[in-house]
Structure 1
Amino acid sequence: MFNEHGIGAVGFGDLAKRMGVGRATFYHYVADREDLIFRCYQRSCEAETERLDLASEAPTGLPQVLAFMELSLSAEAEQTAVIVDTSVLGDAHRTIIERAQRRNYDRLAAMIGAGIDAGNIRPCDEQLIARILPSIILFARMSGRWLPGRPGAADPEAVVDFIANGSAARRDTDIRVYKNADDFARITLADFGDRKISDLKMEQILMKGSWLINRHGVANVSLEDVAGAMGATRGTVYHYFSDREDLVRKCLERSFEIYDAFVDYAAAHGRNGLEKAAIVSHLNTQAMAGSLQPVAGWMGLDALSQASQKHVTKRLREVLARTEAFAEEGMADGSRRRHDHKAVTVARAGAYLWIPKWIGDIEQPSPHRIADEVVALFNLGLAAG
């Protein structure tokens, strides 16, 4: 139910109704709602460890990594909760889950490193890739919530093939992106003098609110939290936003403006379909790893009203359709190999969404360096040669 509806939308009453039992039954097994979330997340970490154990039985390197991907996209894996947000947990529970996640990241990184040493995985930053792959897996599993009627969105075979071989038609493809995502900030030094103070303050609040939402989740961010993070008064934020939904809605609209700008830039400057998609991926990664911080739109919809959810879902589909068009263009012009581009386009989005949650674990987390790794993975996959 957490995976289907979001943590914030599921309580004991909903679970009791789904299972056909009384609410009091749950208190025999779990102390409260947080304890339930913790136990679901703990089981998710244990299940991932079990999948790593099973994958380690495959030959060293790439076969192990691909086996882990296959197991993680299986129907059995879907019976565990996607760990979207640990901020709902108290300090003790959160520490346990985050330590377990890091242990699993380290094991996957070791598999990737062993593959590099064995020569069946191309040179890459194993710590980054070990965080990007689980993010792709989790989003592929979640995508059905926002893309009903598209069963291919979580096609395991297509996603595993993509991770192994990438999208580029030629292995010698080398796409470099030098554009800085911060150039797409809605308020820049160039137009600073032309903007009203109210516009500047609004943008400051939206940037800080977006950063907090990406890091902690919509359900765990209030207008008071935004004011505190800015060092502003509560009244300052309430002057611009009536409530949390108003803040989230405007953060999302800002994000869509940024995403559209990325796609427009790629359409104007990319030489072929593969390069256009790579530009969008690079800019999206930079934005999530850097200061621009558009809200990861797929992640916060549960806290919105039904009307707002419908509008945001429509905008998300529009952005997705534009990026899918680049994939189709690439297959038509020969720059991209033919594969299930719809499944791959959705899975790719997962690489960006969790960046604000794990970037603190990375030494020298340069947005451009992280974006280079993401684009190389998307174009070439992990296979060496």
Structure 2
Amino acid sequence: MATLAPSKLRNERGPQAARKRATRLDRILGIGARMMNELGPGGVRLGLIAEELGCSRNALYYYVRDRRDLVALCYQQTCDLVAAAIAESQDRDPAEGIVQIVDTLLGRHADGQPFAVISDAAMLADSDRVRIEAQVAANAAALARLVEGGIASGDFHRCDADLCAQMILGMVYWAILWNKWIMPAQEVPPEIYRKAAETISDIVLRGITMPGGAAFRCPDGLPQRVAALVGTTAGQGRSGAAPGLLETASLLFNRYGPESVSLDQIAAHIGLTKGAIYHHFADKQALLVAAHERAFDLQHGFVDLADAEPVSDRERMLCVFYSNCLAHATDAPPVALHPGLHALPVSILERASQSAKRMRRMHARALREPLMRPTDAAIVELTAGAFFWLQTWRSQRDDLSPEGIAAEMASIVATGLMATSRSSQRPSRDPEN
């Protein structure tokens, strides 16, 4: 947990006062995290937090200096929670450790204790940003070491442990955002988060293919068809934007977070004036909406490409996942669905729902195939989290091409981590077993 500055502690002393302060700060961070996840960091309003707490805005300043300070504290809390969950799993079997980590993190949301999904660290003060980015990287590295332990013991197939760790954390974060986005008017039932945790662990460990089934094989020509589709939609979306504008905006939004990127930065990156952007869009939010429209144009296009392949529906599901990973690893990615989904028009949610329905129908057909392992239909939404934050860590893997990243990630979803001889043994969720 982030600590308060000494100046904030001067009026209260002793263990009881410290516990009272910690409880209040926990409540503030919980409310702030919920707002950040739903509306993005830019949607956080200290006045609304104070109103929900039943205190004055001035009283809130005893704990946080301003909105940016609150975001930093929420991100610090998330880093601490992830680090603690990974540390508590170190003495377990690697497969059990992954189950425990995912259960612990999503279990907090099931228990009504939300934490913030980290996506806009670039908006923080430099000292906070450097610290948060270092801790995010350290957590991913610690989770990768757990995967490497499973490979070394023979429990897991050989795989890229770093990519696998990023996939796991991405799916956990996405489960938080997606489930609240599709239930905007109600509290997400606790069992939804717990089921999502079970589904994520199941896919990571066992994939969608029956033990002994074929690993993922990318159809000939699919990377070229994906590249052609990405190139066709770039700058030619529903907005009629200038060539390259939507792809550049999407790239920067994905790398740094929508709140952290200004129209000036987008204009400078593409070599336009800000006035040229205003010729197409009234403001950054309008540009962000158009980027989401392009993203779902691409998603539907990826499903169309998969449907045209002369392969099974199980393999088509993997082709869609591969296509998304490949596109998100390029310099013209679809925009990722960041925290702040509730600030988007309802039409974007409708397009997301349409895409999910198409994938669920493909999943239902695949379940009739002998090589398809029985899996929960929610995988079609949850696996999306594996690639949505790909650009935030893409620069760390210059040793892999976009095609290499996509193939590695698709292979994990295809067969899971568990070695064939171990795949029938389900890790226990009971610490006593």
Calculate the TM-score normalised by the size of structure 2: 0.80
Equivalent residue runs for 1:131-210 within 5 Å: 131-148=166-183, 154=193, 155=195, 156-177=197-218, 178=220, 179-180=222-223, 181-187=226-232, 202-210=242-250
Q: What amino acid is the match of 1:62?
A: A
CA contact (8 A) 1:136 1:350 kept: yes
Equivalent residue runs for 1:177-256 within 5 Å: 177=218, 178=220, 179-180=222-223, 181-187=226-232, 202-256=242-296
The partner residue of 2:376 within 340, 349, 356 is: 340
Shift of residue 229 of structure 1? 1.1
The partner residue of 2:83 within 49, 52, 58 is: 49
CA gap of 1:328–1:130, structure 2 versus 1, over 3 A, is: same
| TM-superposition CA deviations, 1:129-159 (whole Å, max 9, x none) | 1111100111112222222288565312222
Stretch of structure 1 that moved more, 50-59 or 295-304: 295-304
Q: In the alignment, which residue of structure 1 is the partner of 2:40?
A: 6
CA gap of 1:300–1:9, structure 2 versus 1, over 3 A, is: closer
The partner residue of 2:131 within 87, 96, 121 is: 96
1:63 aligns with 2:104: no
Aligned length: 372
Shift of residue 241 of structure 1? 2.1
Shift of residue 22 of structure 1? 1.0
1:29 aligns with 2:29: no
Inter-partner Cα distance in structure 2 for 1:7 and 1:145: 16
CA contact (8 A) 2:85 2:101 kept: yes
Inter-partner Cα distance in structure 2 for 1:102 and 1:188: 33
Q: What amino acid is the match of 2:104?
A: L
CA contact (8 A) 1:187 1:203 kept: no
Q: What amino acid is the match of 1:37?
A: V
Inter-partner Cα distance in structure 2 for 1:235 and 1:4: 30
Inter-partner Cα distance in structure 2 for 1:153 and 1:354: 22
Q: What amino acid is the match of 2:227?
A: D
Identical columns (%): 28
The partner residue of 2:144 within 70, 93, 109 is: 109
More helix by share: 1
What's the Cα RMSD here? 2.4
CA contact (8 A) 1:218 1:300 kept: no
CA gap of 1:312–1:139, structure 2 versus 1, over 3 A, is: same
CA contact (8 A) 2:203 2:413 kept: yes
CA gap of 1:368–1:331, structure 2 versus 1, over 3 A, is: same
CA contact (8 A) 1:327 1:341 kept: yes
Inter-partner Cα distance in structure 2 for 1:87 and 1:144: 26
Shift of residue 250 of structure 1? 1.7
| TM-superposition CA deviations, 1:276-313 (whole Å, max 9, x none) | 11000000000001123111246553454xxxx21100
Gaps of 5+ in 2: 1-33, 421-433
| TM-superposition CA deviations, 1:39-68 (whole Å, max 9, x none) | 111111111111111111213x32222322
Q: What amino acid is the match of 1:63?
A: E
Q: What amino acid is the match of 2:276?
A: T
CA contact (8 A) 1:112 1:126 kept: yes
The partner residue of 1:86 within 98, 117, 121 is: 121
Shift of residue 118 of structure 1? 0.4
Ranges of 4+ aligned residues in structure 1 off by more than 4 Å: 149-153
Q: In the alignment, which residue of structure 2 is the partner of 1:382?
A: 417
Q: What amino acid is the match of 1:287?
A: A
Inter-partner Cα distance in structure 2 for 1:237 and 1:280: 32
Stretch of structure 1 that moved more, 280-289 or 247-256: 247-256
Inter-partner Cα distance in structure 2 for 1:313 and 1:245: 16
Q: In the alignment, which residue of structure 1 is the partner of 2:408?
A: 373
The partner residue of 2:154 within 119, 122, 127 is: 119
CA contact (8 A) 2:329 2:394 kept: yes
Shift of residue 323 of structure 1? 1.1
Inter-partner Cα distance in structure 1 for 2:157 and 2:288: 40
Calculate the TM-score normalised by the size of structure 1: 0.90
Q: What amino acid is the match of 2:351?
A: R
Inter-partner Cα distance in structure 1 for 2:175 and 2:109: 14
Stretch of structure 1 that moved more, 362-371 or 31-40: 362-371
Q: In the alignment, which residue of structure 2 is the partner of 1:294?
A: 334
CA gap of 1:252–1:136, structure 2 versus 1, over 3 A, is: same
Inter-partner Cα distance in structure 1 for 2:264 and 2:347: 26
CA contact (8 A) 2:119 2:338 kept: no
Gaps of 5+ in 1: none
| TM-superposition CA deviations, 1:316-336 (whole Å, max 9, x none) | 100111111111111023332
